[in-house]
Structure 1
Amino acid sequence: MWFFIIALIAVGIVFSVRNIRRSVVTGPIFELFKRILPPLSQTEREAMEAGSTWWEADLFQGRPDWEKLQAFPKPELSDEEQAFIDVHVPKLMSLIDDFDAIHERKDFSPEAWDYMRRHGFFSLIIPKAYGGKEFSAFANSTIVSQISSRSLSAGVTVMVPNSLGPGELLSHYGTEEQKNYWLPRLASGEDIPCFALTAPEAGSDAGAIPDTGVICMGEHEGKETLGIRLNWDKRYITLAPVATVLGLAFKLSDPDKLLGDKANIGITCALIPTSHPGVETGDRHLPLEQAFMNGTTRGKDVFIPVDWIIGGPDYAGKGWKMLIECLSAGRGISLPALSTGNCQLSARTTAIYAMVRQQFNSPLYKFEGVAEGLATLGANAYMTEAVRQMTAMAIDQGNKPSVVTAIAKYHMTEAARSSINIAMDIHGGKGIQMGPNNYLASLYMTMPVSITVEGANILTRNLMIFGQGATRCHPYVFDELIAAANPDQEQALSDFETLLGEHVKFAVGNGLFSFFHGLTGGRLISAPETANKKHYRQLERMSKALALYSDIAMLVLGGELKRRELLSARLGDVLSQLYLTSAVLYHHHKRGYRRDEQVYVDYLVARALKQCEDAMYGFTRHISNPVTGWLLRRIVFPFGRSYAPPADKLTLAISDSLCENSELRTRLTPQVYTDNASDPIAVLQQAYDAILALEPLDRKLRKARKNGSVKDKGSLFQLCDKLLEDGIITEDEAGKIRNADKLRLQVVNVDSFDRHLNPHDSASNVTSLKTG
């Protein structure tokens, strides 16, 4: 007893007397912290400070407020945005023949280019004061998503000027003189922009660009001018072959200190007309046989005035932060939009094809192996639309969530890759025969483009999501790093002490809650009284567990966590799944908890929880200290594994609903273009409707077989003439069967060519299929 009292007094003295506390407890911890988590470099700090945190921070900290999630506004289009989408987007898509653009012209038609220029497709984000559309992120995303369902090449062409590029950089950072000159020209389509960042020796590592600029005096327009002598060699630059104005990122130095007192200024962005002496553009790449313009730009000893720096001389050296902030927003709009269009096209076309196409006298979707793939397609279409809308809403609310946009980019492009692979698998031979009637081949061929651009997916998953999340989303770590970098050691230690106390309470609380929720299966967690109450509870349980795992990871591994990418990526996967599933729940809430969509929500949550659990088990198995791993597992999962993959009944329910419920399928895939009645995707729907209308005749055939009036085997299509001859069906009913059969064969048919690859007409193709 006395020993316990003495121990309490000793602890109290240690923590109450500052000098003792600092020499015995906080001082040594502070020194340890600085060793295991070294201070951020200036570049790292700028990257971390760029953008903002949002809902992902709540999830990372184990504090998701579900009522806050439900209260987020529903993204809405303005009347002007809706009119543009209703009128100009379909018109543009009608002018684009993707097969012709890719395989014949290697470009879009002059009519398509002219329409994009005249109607502002390159000025969606430019303010109205300068002649632009000034559309919301949601509208921008919707436009790109719809165009991408028709032609990914066109989607990329529209996407780039409205993402990272001169238009966005000028709008945010340009001088008034730069805005007044360039933005109206970009808005009218008089100028076409490109932005050159990627170099042969610097891809995803944009901070390593070798391109240089040196402050010096030179001649411009006959006058001696303070300017920059530039040398660059860039590649993979979209629109470079047709661009009239070049945005350029380079490392700027000032050895003679003509601009200021720094010799090494840092990454800088400038705007240069491509007609300027020494600027080289025009050479094209051929990115996986796509039609969008992509190529190189080079310059050797090109002199430009210092006023051509975007934002003017005051923004010299601020290019890295500008790029990070613009990339984070663009990453959350453009590539998720492309991926959503891909997922929705894959889901809609494959579901209809699996209903129309028969094998062994049964529609493809009736085979459970096919149904499994269809369920993934339906779930991916629902998830990507949900994430697209919620992420665009966040950006429209003024947020610049760099972690959220990295999550959206990585997981939505991977979902698109999964979807197009499944779609090709189910379509079989139809998917691999190139031609005007193949609506999948272009998406399949181009999928690596989305995976690669704006940061390769390997980089995004292994370094960015948890790497940024651990410092930006944690309530204390970033401030602790800043304190550690403070040269005033007295103030640094004082700040660190305050943060450390809160950090310890935070970590202990997460550990206790995680263990309690593990014992109770999360059943006592408070959650909104909705159809998804049980889902909210389980996601909050995983959120608490992530907060605990993250603190332990940083404590045990410290700075080594940056290099242990397999471990940090697993924790990033948990954060990602929590965000993606939050978007699904938000989407379902905003759509009024539609009952026919509940199965999609249940499937996606089950899939996400299983992936969270697998990631956490993987983390604890491979962490350096096996005892720590065992303890973490026992705290979060005291009775072993808690989650299972989606049940077979969910898989089959999604497959059936996607194939059999035309209204639901259309609602889940709103971005797919179907306005052209002769378009192969429209023909798919026509065949589906025609076959569905034969259900009464199919019942009549089954009844005739049952009473013995029809003894022959075969389908309605095979027995049509015989049934008419025997008086079982009328001439009008036979006409419906023949029309449905014609459409069905048109769907099943693939393009064929003569030996010189000149196309046959579609009628001969259908005839050969009937007789062959």
Structure 2
Amino acid sequence: MNNPDAHDFLAVDQDLTEEERAIRDAVRDYGTAELLPHVADWFEAGTIPAVREVAKGFGALGVFGMHLEGYGCAGTNAVGYGLACRELEAIDSGLRSFVSVQGSLAMTAIHHYGSEEQRQEWLPRMAAGEAIGCFGLTEPDSGSDPGSMRTRARRDGSDWVLNGTKMWITNGSVADVAVVWAATDDGIRGFLVPAGTPGFTANVIHKKLSLRASITSELVLQDVRLPADALLPEASGLRAPLSCLSEARYGIVWGAAGAARACFESALDYTKARVQFGRPISDFQLTQRKLADLLIDVNHAMLTALRIGRLKDAGQAHHSHISFGKLANVRSAQRVAAIARGMHGASGITLEYPVMRHMLNLESVATYEGTEEVHALTLGQALTGSSAFR
């Protein structure tokens, strides 16, 4: 019997269907050909210069809202969507975040909670990458506790008037439409705010040291007047935005596995090629022990992602399962990236190799869409039946 494949040691991908393998291969091939040659430059520049072209490329690939049905969306299963996230984050977390925010947050909010007119207006164009969306929930003083948001919407006749600030919004400054969540007298509601609406501005956040191949913005709403049909009619309370976040967090479960795999593969290739003391450093015991540790973390992450994906496709995935995956896989990916960075020596701090870029990106991935502490407490609540949040 031959040795196991170093790139899929436990043969996790053997459990994929033919359609799932086709999705995996299509996204991997696209990422390798169209994104990987540019991503280090984008990271160094701190932006995606040709963001509209990237969006159209993702649209043609079919990854925007690919888990949704109708309106130009592919309607794939959860594992297929997860595989796309894995392959995109193996290139860069910022690119997977682009797809997650567009599809799992903005498009899902419109698809699940919007009117038919809103769906027809936005979803086909967003699926094609012709329109970009963003998701405005987090605020400067309201991250892990979104129920404390200060953005408010009040009625004025048949209109709504919004005031507030949203922070750390992916694609905010290039979005054609923002899904903005605001407190009202009837609870938290969602609104569609088209770009160019008077009083609505999006300011790019600069000087980031993480997710640099991504556009992050602050949204400011000053007496933004919206017609009655800007309201997402089926969204009421925090359950609506949190359900969208659960979809995006599911993508992170797979994405973190992709980032970990990329760092492991880079470390394996580098140590086999790097010669010191007359031998490749992969021949030395300390290096082989590190490679074994990375291999275990990567394969654990792959197994966790696939199991949660199968539960999701069977309608059996609880939100605490997704918290388990996000907490476990991001933690594993951070560990892999840090060790792999050291294994590259001085070269590991350069953009010639992906490890430092992934290591920095994962600092954001560990924070957004639920910090490690929030997901740990979610698991604690699932185990004990007692909430420690309040």
State the alpha-carbon separation in 2 of the partners of residues 92 and 377 from structure 1: 23
Q: Which of 42, 67, 74 is matched with 1:101 structurally?
A: 42
How far off its partner does 1:77 sit? Answer: 5.2
TM-score by length of 2: 0.88
Q: Which of 553, 557, 562 is matched with 2:388 structurally?
A: 562
What residue in structure 2 maps to residue 321 of structure 1?
A: 239
CA contact 1:420–1:443 (8 Å) conserved in 2: yes
| Bigger RCO of structures 1 and 2 (CA < 8 A, at least 6 apart) | 2
What residue in structure 2 maps to residue 357 of structure 1?
A: 274
Q: Which of 78, 95, 98 is matched with 1:154 structurally?
A: 95
State the alpha-carbon separation in 1 of the partners of residues 247 and 383 from structure 2: 16
Look up the equivalent residue of 1:354 and give its one-letter code: T
Look up the equivalent residue of 1:292 and give its one-letter code: S
How far off its partner does 1:378 sit? Answer: 0.4
Residues 337 and 469 of structure 1, relative CA distance in 2, 3 Å threshold? same
Residues 451 and 215 of structure 1, relative CA distance in 2, 3 Å threshold? same
What residue in structure 2 maps to residue 387 of structure 1?
A: 304
Deviation string for 1:231-277 (max 9, x for gaps)? Answer: 12011001111100100111111xxxxxxxxxxx1111111212222
State the alpha-carbon separation in 2 of the partners of residues 424 and 287 from structure 1: 20
What residue in structure 2 maps to residue 173 of structure 1?
A: 113
What residue in structure 2 maps to residue 205 of structure 1?
A: 145
How far off its partner does 1:342 sit? Answer: 1.4
Give the gaps of 5 or more residues in structure 2: 1-14
CA contact 2:323–2:375 (8 Å) conserved in 1: yes
How far off its partner does 1:286 sit? Answer: 4.5
What residue in structure 1 maps to residue 62 of structure 2?
A: 120
State the alpha-carbon separation in 1 of the partners of residues 271 and 60 from structure 2: 41
Q: Give the 4+ runs in structure 1 shifted more than 6 A.
A: none
How far off its partner does 1:138 sit? Answer: 1.1
How far off its partner does 1:385 sit? Answer: 0.6
CA contact 2:55–2:129 (8 Å) conserved in 1: no
Residues 210 and 283 of structure 1, relative CA distance in 2, 3 Å threshold? same
What residue in structure 2 maps to residue 458 of structure 1?
A: 373
State the alpha-carbon separation in 1 of the partners of residues 187 and 213 from structure 2: 35
What residue in structure 2 maps to residue 57 of structure 1?
A: none
RMSD across aligned positions (CA): 2.4
State the alpha-carbon separation in 2 of the partners of residues 237 and 75 from structure 1: 34
- 1:580-599 matches, within 5 Å, as none
State the alpha-carbon separation in 2 of the partners of residues 193 and 131 from structure 1: 16
Name the SS for the 1:95 alignment partner: helix
Deviation string for 1:455-504 (max 9, x for gaps)? Answer: 1112222x221123422xxxxxxxxxxxxxxxxxxxxxxxxxxxxxxxxx
- 1:295-314 matches, within 5 Å, as 295-310=217-232, 312=233
Name the SS for the 1:251 alignment partner: strand
What residue in structure 1 maps to residue 187 of structure 2?
A: 266
How far off its partner does 1:108 sit? Answer: 4.5
How far off its partner does 1:371 sit? Answer: 2.7
State the alpha-carbon separation in 2 of the partners of residues 207 and 176 from structure 1: 28
Look up the equivalent residue of 2:58 and give its one-letter code: M
State the alpha-carbon separation in 1 of the partners of residues 44 and 82 from structure 2: 27
Name the SS for the 1:287 alignment partner: coil
Name the SS for the 2:30 alignment partner: helix
Deviation string for 1:162-204 (max 9, x for gaps)? Answer: 22x2211222222222222221222222211100011001011
Q: Which of 87, 91, 99 is matched with 2:30 structurally?
A: 91
CA contact 2:177–2:194 (8 Å) conserved in 1: yes
CA contact 1:126–1:187 (8 Å) conserved in 2: no
State the alpha-carbon separation in 2 of the partners of residues 173 and 112 from structure 1: 27
What residue in structure 2 maps to residue 442 of structure 1?
A: 357
What residue in structure 2 maps to residue 397 of structure 1?
A: 314
CA contact 1:148–1:342 (8 Å) conserved in 2: yes
Q: Which of 264, 268, 272 is matched with 1:347 structurally?
A: 264
State the alpha-carbon separation in 2 of the partners of residues 562 and 114 from structure 1: 43
Look up the equivalent residue of 2:154 and give its one-letter code: V
State the alpha-carbon separation in 2 of the partners of residues 363 and 245 from structure 1: 53
CA contact 1:123–1:167 (8 Å) conserved in 2: yes
Name the SS for the 1:319 alignment partner: coil
What residue in structure 2 maps to residue 413 of structure 1?
A: 330
Look up the equivalent residue of 1:323 and give its one-letter code: P
State the alpha-carbon separation in 2 of the partners of residues 381 and 119 from structure 1: 26
How far off its partner does 1:400 sit? Answer: 4.2
Give the gaps of 5 or more residues in structure 1: 1-73, 218-225, 254-264, 472-558, 566-772
How far off its partner does 1:374 sit? Answer: 1.5
Deviation string for 1:698-741 (max 9, x for gaps)? Answer: xxxxxxxxxxxxxxxxxxxxxxxxxxxxxxxxxxxxxxxxxxxx
What residue in structure 2 maps to residue 291 of structure 1?
A: 213
What residue in structure 2 maps to residue 551 of structure 1?
A: none
CA contact 1:212–1:232 (8 Å) conserved in 2: yes
What residue in structure 2 maps to residue 618 of structure 1?
A: none
State the alpha-carbon separation in 2 of the partners of residues 400 and 84 from structure 1: 22
Normalized per residue, which structure has more helix?
1
State the alpha-carbon separation in 2 of the partners of residues 208 and 457 from structure 1: 20
What residue in structure 2 maps to residue 232 of structure 1?
A: 164
How far off its partner does 1:149 sit? Answer: 1.4
Residues 84 and 341 of structure 1, relative CA distance in 2, 3 Å threshold? closer
Name the SS for the 1:101 alignment partner: helix
State the alpha-carbon separation in 2 of the partners of residues 458 and 248 from structure 1: 25
State the alpha-carbon separation in 1 of the partners of residues 324 and 192 from structure 2: 30
How far off its partner does 1:131 sit? Answer: 1.1
State the alpha-carbon separation in 2 of the partners of residues 286 and 208 from structure 1: 27
* Mapped pair 1:193 → 2:129: no
TM-score by length of 1: 0.46
Look up the equivalent residue of 1:235 and give its one-letter code: M
Which entry has the higher C-alpha Rg, 1 or 2? 1
Name the SS for the 1:166 alignment partner: helix
CA contact 2:264–2:336 (8 Å) conserved in 1: yes
How many pairs does the alignment contain?
A: 373
How far off its partner does 1:441 sit? Answer: 2.0
How far off its partner does 1:141 sit? Answer: 1.2
State the alpha-carbon separation in 2 of the partners of residues 178 and 337 from structure 1: 30
Look up the equivalent residue of 1:278 and give its one-letter code: G
CA contact 2:179–2:192 (8 Å) conserved in 1: yes
State the alpha-carbon separation in 2 of the partners of residues 104 and 293 from structure 1: 11
